[in-house]
Amino acid sequence: MTAADFVATCPPMPDAKICGITTVEALDAAIEGGARFVGFVTYPKSPRFLSMDKLAALAARARGRVETVLVTVNADDGHLAAANVAAQPDWIQLHGSESTKRAAEVRPFARRGLIKAVGIAKHEDFATLPPYYPIVDFFLFDAQVPKGGLPGGNALPFDWGVTAGAQIDRPWFLAGGLNPSNVKEAIQVSGADLVDVSSGVESSPGLKDPHLIAQFLAAAEV
């Protein structure tokens, strides 16, 4: 999918992903608020981790109502196969250190394609992207993982201005430290195609607040 193809198929704003959904209430709030994507995390160390049974139940409720993203971190084929049966995800998000070779191996597990998360701190970090162009459909730019931190959901922003004017041959999500109060500014500064939020709409780690989800999605309309 090229950036032009993506724009042609976009629904009205907001183009947002609510990631780390763990409850029916959060899922329904994301859908009712107009999110294009919802993310389900199967990384065991995450506070947003879903068992296969819970993953299956939430994915079934989401199916046909919103695009679903299976969020993984260096997952093996056995895990991907089980999660694929449970969730039938539209997209798989690679949020670990997956190489281009591994990304190509994972791609057949997704119905539509891949999202590759990349930690960004400076403009030079974008030089890592071109080898992934033939394989992935979206990038997700997040803050680099702090020492002792988990991949994603650390509520840490990076310098949004570093993305402005960057030549990126794929649509991309801005993530990291976004919340209802700053998402509008983040979009304006970064020029993001899409936005992704997890901890910024939580009342406690792993527990999404439906009211914050609604506020975030309303604020993301620009």
10 is catalytic: no
User: Which domains does the chain possess?
Assistant: 3-219 (3.20.20.70)
- Kindly name the residue from 15, 137, 142, 193 that is annotated as catalytic: 142
Collect all residues with Cβ–Cβ distance below 8 Å to 168 and sequence separation of at least 6.
126, 129, 139
Which H helix or E strand runs over 65?
none
* Residue 155: predicted pLDDT: 66
Tokens 């990349």 correspond to what residue?
Answer: 118
- Kindly name the residue from 15, 19, 193, 196 that is annotated as catalytic: 19
pLDDT band at 12 (very low <50, low <70, confident <90, very high): very low
**Which DSSP letter does residue 136 get?**
-
Mean local confidence (pLDDT), 32-54: 96
pLDDT band at 11 (very low <50, low <70, confident <90, very high): very low
- Percent over 90 (pLDDT), the chain: 77
Write the burial class of residue 166 (CB in 10 Å: 0-12 exposed, 13-18 middle, 19+ buried): middle
Q: What is the pLDDT of residues 174-197, one digit of tens each?
A: 998 999 999 999 999 998 989 999
Q: How does 28-49 read in b/e, with b if 16+ C-beta sit within 10 Å?
A: bbbbebbbbbbbbbbbeebbbb
pLDDT band at 158 (very low <50, low <70, confident <90, very high): confident
